[in-house]
Amino acid sequence: MRRRQTLPLLAGLLAGPALVRAAFAWPDQPVKIIVPFTPGTGPDIIARFVAERLTAKLGQPVVVENVAGASGNIGSQQVARAKPDGHTLMSSVNTLVMNPSLYKNLPYDPVTDFVPLGLTAWGSLVLVANPNQKPTTLAELIAAAKAAPKTLTYGSPGVGTPHHLSMALVETSAGIELLHVPYKGTAGAVQDLLGGQIGYMFLPVHVSAQHIRAGKLKAIAVGSPQRLPQLPDVPTLAESGLNGVDVDMWYGFFLPKGTPPEIVARLNREVAAILNAPEAKAAFEAQGLIPATSTSAELGAIVARDRTRWADVVAKRGIAAE
């Protein structure tokens, strides 16, 4: 009698690990990385680099899908509403935390509706000027702006973009007012900056460096906490007098809220291994990006901090999305 009772018990114990493995049989279908922006943007470049290599690590196809529109809100909402089973990720940038302050009734919350997977990269912005502008240092720019508010002009790819809010942060920190000229995209703004129709602009380092070296633009300050290897002679905003101010753009992967922690941990390890490989540095540098990794909690802290920081800038400058 005891033997008959013991056999089923042993069978159950032996089957236990197999049942646990089956319950967490992930991934069991293709994994999708949604990019809420157009092809060729930073989040897209990062997603495609990772997807190609993550496919081999997971044993399932990892595909990239661009769901652009409304400054990333359409794709972000789709991920927020996706099934939290680890088969849907999002490759995003710090506009994710800027948008709640710019758009009313946003259908998602960047802090509570996503699980941060980890950082993927940092991108640097450079404050540049048309060479014909007389103020060519940050101190001179601040002095001129205080003497004649809203006469010096700066461009951006649009209202609420990181380029725009970065300059708004400079205005708030320095106590000055400039005249903002928003464009529909970077290309037109750069063209007018080179032509002298606008005076200043924050630009990604890989966009600005070539024009700086050619003498077509003057670098005033870099938005990073440290000087950039591409422009070692250009001071930071902090070195130029704005203590504690930096406008680096962070990039990261996110998952829908409720994704199992086991899946988050596995994906974090696999993605970090890809980003820490030497080939990542070479591929990212060409786009002005620096590969980065972090824990889920570390990215979560950055998201919470920056949401508050940019909300304060938007409120003080009275900025609203068009």
Q: What is the pLDDT of residue 104?
A: 86
Please tell me whether residues 40 and 184 are part of one structural domain.
Answer: no
Residue pair 37/99 in contact by the 8 Å Cβ criterion: no
Provide the greatest CA pair distance for the chain: 98
Write out the DSSP string of 60-73.
S-EEEEE---GGGH
How far is residue 106 CA from its own chain's centroid? 19
Please tell me whether residues 111 and 258 are part of one structural domain.
Answer: yes
Please tell me whether residues 210 and 195 are part of one structural domain.
Answer: yes
How many Å from the N-terminal Cα to the C-terminal Cα in the chain?
78
Please tell me whether residues 130 and 118 are part of one structural domain.
Answer: no
Please tell me whether residues 218 and 256 are part of one structural domain.
Answer: no
User: Tokens 């942060």 identify what position?
Assistant: 169
Domain termination residue (choose one: 222, 239, 267): 222
- pLDDT tens series, the chain, 322 aa: 445 555 554 555 554 444 344 346 899 999 999 999 999 999 999 999 999 999 999 999 999 999 998 889 999 999 999 999 999 999 999 999 999 999 988 999 999 999 999 999 999 999 999 999 999 999 999 999 999 999 999 999 999 999 999 999 999 999 999 999 999 889 999 999 999 999 999 999 989 999 999 999 999 999 999 999 889 999 999 999 999 899 999 999 999 999 999 999 999 999 999 999 999 999 998 888 999 999 999 999 999 999 999 999 999 999 988 7
Q: What is the pLDDT of residue 14?
A: 52
Please tell me whether residues 101 and 153 are part of one structural domain.
Answer: no
Please tell me whether residues 32 and 169 are part of one structural domain.
Answer: no
Domain hosting 192: range is 125-222
Residue at 157 is within a domain = yes
Please tell me whether residues 76 and 218 are part of one structural domain.
Answer: no
Q: Which amino acid is at 191?
A: Q
Residue at 19 is within a domain = no
Q: What is the pLDDT of residue 19?
A: 38
Residue at 297 is within a domain = yes
Q: Which amino acid is at 133?
A: Q
Q: What is the pLDDT of residue 20?
A: 41
Please tell me whether residues 130 and 105 are part of one structural domain.
Answer: no
Domains: count for the chain: 2
Please tell me whether residues 80 and 131 are part of one structural domain.
Answer: no
Please tell me whether residues 113 and 132 are part of one structural domain.
Answer: no
Residue pair 243/27 in contact by the 8 Å Cβ criterion: no
Q: What is the pLDDT of residue 185?
A: 86
In this structure, what CATH number is given to the domain that contains residue 139?
3.40.190.10
Which residues share a beta bridge with 88?
32
Q: Which residues contact 156 (CB under 8 A, 6 or more apart)?
A: 163, 164, 167, 180, 181, 182, 183, 189, 201, 202
Please tell me whether residues 119 and 253 are part of one structural domain.
Answer: yes
Q: 102, 82, 89, 141: which is closest to 270 by C-alpha?
A: 89
Residue at 274 is within a domain = yes
Residue at 48 is within a domain = yes
Residue at 230 is within a domain = no
